[in-house]
Amino acid sequence: MPTVAQFFLCGLLAVSARGQDYDGSPRDEDAFSYVQPENTTILGPYGHSPPVFPSPHATGSGGWEEAFAQAQDFVAQLTPEEKADMVTGQFGPCVGNIVAIPRLNFGGLCLQDGPLAIRVADYASVFPAGVAAASTWDRKILYERGFAMGEEFKAKGAHVALAPVAGPLGRSAYSGRNWEGFAADPYLTGVAMEETIRGFQDAGVQATAKHFVGNEQETQRNPTYDPDGTVTDVLQEAVSSNIDDRTMHELYLWPFANAARARVASVMCSYQRLNGSYACENSKILNGLLKQELGFQGYVMSDWGGTHSGVASIEGGLDMNMPGGIGAYGQDPKAGSFFGGNVTRAVSNGTLPESRLDDMILRIMTPYFWLGQDRDYPTIDPSSADLNTFSPRSEWLREFNLTGPRSRDVRGDHASLIRRHGAEATVLLKNKNNALPLRAPKTIAVFGNDAAENTNGPVNQDTFEFGTLAAGGGSGTGRFTYLVSPLAALNARARRDGTSLVQYWLNNKQVATSSVSDLLGVPTQPEACLVFLKTWAAEGEDRAHLDSDYSGNEVVASVAKTCNNTIVVTHSSGINTLPFANHPNVTAILAAHYPGQESGNSIVDVLYGDVNPSGRLPYTIARNGSDYNAPPTTEVTTNGKYDWQSWFDEKLEIDYRYFDAHNIPVLYEFGFGLSYTKFNISNVRAERVVQAIPSTPERLPVQPGGNPALWETLYNVSVSVTNTGPVHGATVPQLYVTFPDSTPSGTPPKQLRGFEKVALEPGESRVVSFALARRDLSYWDVVSQEWVVPEGEFTLRVGFSSRDLREVVRVTLVE
């Protein structure tokens, strides 16, 4: 815990509403009266940083001016009741709903999950999860995926996609939702956010950057409600993520700056508390960081049931209350709303300025007009309403006009794209003696409960013993119309080649406890033994361990005892410990993550070399599970209302930043991945783009993404990359920056600040360049509250992973 002096230096974040320290939900049935909790000191110094009021009003600047004017016309015509409707969700056909105002030709808003598919829908595709998409390290794929998903959301009549995810960022290897997001690194996640958001929005759908911010664990993400009390009676408040100012800027806020820059329509505030105050009413993060510093012009919507007050939240920066009701997950609309009629009342009695309510609606309607959603937008597919178990028709309080064709097939030709993306996302971690690609083997033996058909139906809402895993659970999952299993794809390939005999053992218990030599029972040894392992993760719970599920390690050990060409494929939410990695008979390991509906085809394409693997790890695989720092806070031993605290004491040291800072050897480092060919890097050059580089940026008017001076390129670094091997392939040169010694302590030894996917024919070379923006070469100075380029020499290294850096160049920006 920091000392009081450190706290003041760090400029920690505000927790107040209306200028008072305030921590939590209303104390009585009137959503608009709240009292200060009796004991706020328990929060320590994190509970007392300055409030940021009033909530900055949107102006539409940065390209939304015309749409903003349309939104102004719209708002001018609204009655007080209509205004309240515009900011308050209602139960209806979609996961979130804003009701129509037919007299103004406004058809309402349909908000649907999620980050890898339109979840509540039939005849829609399931794409690779965020962690898989990030593993491609390919900007083009990230954009294509966002665009293709956007096409499906739009065709189903969804205006707003509740995606993509930058929180969790991946502070802890154990967090249950890391797979929904991208990488345990703000730079890679930032690029992925930007590309995905542009993809969605170019397809005409509003994107939602979520969960803002510090949502790094699932345990106690929401309050514990009193089962015997009313829906707002809280026994213990949600966990508080306590984050210092520098860490906030350089890690957790960073990708949201990219999102704002990409003109994201919406930001979803997260469930947990942030430095003592609920994220959805934290004026420092919503008014201060997001709307002021990052110039965000869209709207802040609450996570489902993440609203804990009315006026306090509105003044704190919340613009839309979802799904609208009160209680856990907002699941009880009949219990009333913190918004709704209370908003109208607060305006009429003078508690809430009408200008703020108008600002909320302007923020909601500007992206709607900007994306042309007022013109010929598809109707909501009525089948989505039937599939929506969150708010079944019986619970709707308002009318929804559901006309239009039912059960539309919106998948288009996305299957081939998903297959390609899944293959490109696969990370080859080990390939001893060129075990891969397979060369038309005559006999293959397949092991593991992840290899074959899913046995428990199409919706991934629970883990199950038998069947391949291609998505995680919770609101970030998808509803498969089909799922190609590895075994089915291997069999199809064998038939095509006319060569392979595929035999399989799918029961992990049997394989783990039997002699595989007895199981094989054939005179010919299989040429390859493929083992498919899976690891489940889901919203609402953190992972209990980092091993593969269902005794995966024992399955590998058993197979490898007999088979000297054991090839392991993991379908996983992300980090797995791989105790078998150095086993001499384990010749190859592939991390395929959650690849989506074409899973089997994607992996077979890589196994047989139709696709040369070029995925790279978006996190570190440590030698031991216990090597990871920053575990989730899983329990408190006291029962005080505010006792759930998670101190982000590791500060900037997450994932490779931590392992590097402490010289901890790892199994496979961040950025690592093999190919069937070889690459070389040479000829690094750094070219200064602007002559004079003052240490602080010019203070330009803030645009979406923050001060535009932060995005200005200061240096261009280039390298020559050559394919020195025998086959076509792609690689990912990566640029890591080591800051000068003058940078304040706690600066990680190196940080990713550039990458590019480059495909090359054998013998081909290409020059790849990385533009380093001012933000990339600055640290956040907590005293001056500014990004500062430090004095002294920067070391810029380029290589093929965070621990395989081959070229180096040193530059001094500020003397």
Within its chain, how far is the Cα of 210 from the centroid?
Answer: 7
Question: Of 565, 554, 474, 576, whose CA–CA distance to 528 is shortest?
Answer: 565
**Interface with ligand BGC includes 159 (CB under 6 A)?**
no
Using rule CB under 6 A, residue 138 touches ligand BGC: no
Q: How far apart are CA 468 and CA 454, in angstroms?
A: 6
DSSP 124-143: ---PPPHHHHHHTT-HHHHH
Q: How far is the CB of 162 from ligand BGC (least distance, A)?
A: 4
* 21 phi/psi in degrees, rounded to 5: -70, 135
The dihedrals phi and psi of 492, each to the nearest 5 degrees, come to -60, -40
Closest among 726, 278, 218, 681 to 476, alpha carbons compared: 218
- The CB-of-113 to ligand BGC minimum distance in angstroms stands at 5
Which CB sits closer to ligand BGC, 162 or 667?
162
Q: Is 303 an interacting residue with respect to ligand BGC (CB under 6 A)?
A: yes
For tokens 């923020």, the residue is 363
Spatial separation of the C-alpha atoms in residues 573 and 592, rounded to whole Å: 9
Interface residue with ligand BGC, options 21, 23, 85, 113 (CB under 6 A): 113
Tokens of 402: 């559901």
With contacts defined by CB under 6 A, how many residues of the chain interact with ligand BGC? Answer: 8
Q: Label residues 330-368 b or e (16+ Cβ within 10 Å = b).
A: bbbbeebbbbbebbbbbbeeebbeeebbbbbbbbbbbbb
Q: Could you list the beta-strand ranges (E) of 320-424.
A: none
User: Do strands 734-738 and 751-755 pair parallel, antiparallel, or not at all (unpaired)?
Assistant: antiparallel
Which phi and psi angles does 95 have, rounded to 5°? Answer: -65, -35
Nearest CB to ligand BGC, comparing residues 290 and 436: 290
Minimum CB distance to ligand BGC, residue 186 (Å): 20
DSSP string, 657-689: HHHHHTT--EEE-TT--B-SS-EEEEEEEEEE-
Query: Smallest distance, Å, CB 216 to ligand BGC?
Result: 13
Residue 95 or residue 290: which is nearer to ligand BGC going by CB?
95
Strands (E), 243-385: 266-269, 273-274, 277-278, 299-302
Residue 194 or 303: the one with the smaller Cβ distance to ligand BGC is 303
**What's the min distance (Å) between Cβ of 137 and ligand BGC?**
25
For the stretch 204-221, what's the b/e string if a residue is b when 16 or more beta carbons lie within 10 angstroms of its beta carbon? bbbbbbbbbbbbbbbbbb
Q: Which of 777, 513, 807 is nearest to 682 (CA)?
A: 807
DSSP string, 554-621: HHHHHHHHH-SSEEEEEEESS----TTTT-TTEEEEEE-----TTHHHHHHHHHTTSS------SS-E
Q: Which of 162, 423, 435, 520 binds ligand BGC (CB under 6 A)?
A: 162
Rounded to the nearest 10 degrees, the angle between the axes of helix 139-155 and helix 186-202 is 40
| Bridge partner residues of 808 (DSSP) | 797
Region label for 235, one of left (φ > 0), alpha (ψ between -120 and 50) or beta (otherwise)? alpha
CA distance 211 to 439: 45
Confirm or reject binding of residue 218 to ligand BGC (CB under 6 A). no
Instruction: Using the minimum distance from each CB to ligand BGC, give the nearer residue, 474 or 790.
Output: 474
Residue nearer to ligand BGC on the CB measure, 237 or 303: 303
385 binds ligand BGC (CB under 6 A): no
Q: Which two tokens stand for residue 61?
A: 């600047």
Q: How far, CA to CA in Å, does 810 sit from each of 687, 782, 801, 813?
A: 11, 26, 19, 10
For the CB of residue 572, give the shortest distance to ligand BGC in the complex, in Å: 21
For ligand BGC, which is the closer residue by CB, 114 or 324? 114
Residue 628 CA to residue 611 CA, distance in Å, equals: 33
- C-alpha 456/C-alpha 631 separation (Å) is 32
Q: Which is nearer to ligand BGC, 389 or 691 (CB)?
A: 389
Binding mask 69-108 for ligand BGC (x = CB under 6 A): --------------------------x-------------
Amino acid at 136: T
304 binds ligand BGC (CB under 6 A): yes
113 vs 237, which CB is nearer to ligand BGC?
Answer: 113
CB of 212 to ligand BGC, least distance (A): 11
CA distance 755 to 137: 8
What is the spatial distance between Cα 145 and Cα 127, in angstroms, rounded to a whole number? Answer: 8
The strand order across the sheet containing 765-773 reads: 679-688, 713-723, 765-773
Q: Please report how close the Cβ of residue 304 comes to ligand BGC at its closest, in angstroms.
A: 4
Q: State the nearest-atom distance from the C-beta of 218 to ligand BGC, in Å.
A: 9
Known catalytic membership, residue 303: yes
Catalytic one among 21, 113, 122, 303? 303
Which ranges in 498-564 belong to alpha helices (H)? 508-513, 516-520, 552-562
Q: Among residues 266 and 743, whose Cβ is nearest to ligand BGC? A: 266
Q: Is residue 475 close enough to count as binding ligand BGC by CB under 6 A? A: yes
544 and 463 Cβ atoms separated by less than 8 Å:
no
Query: Of these, 156, 210, 284, 750, which contacts ligand BGC (CB under 6 A)?
Result: 210
For residue 475, the minimal CB distance to ligand BGC (Å) is 4
In angstroms, the Cα distances linking 522 to 250, 443, 517, 557, 788 are 58, 11, 8, 20, 68
- Residue 265 CB, nearest approach to ligand BGC (Å): 14
Cβ proximity to ligand BGC: between 112 and 747 the closer is 112
Q: Greatest CA separation found in the chain?
A: 87
For the bound state, the minimum distance from the C-beta of residue 46 to ligand BGC, rounded and expressed in Å, comes to 23
So which residues are the catalytic ones?
Answer: 303
Contacting positions for ligand BGC (CB under 6 A):
95, 113-114, 162, 210, 303-304, 475
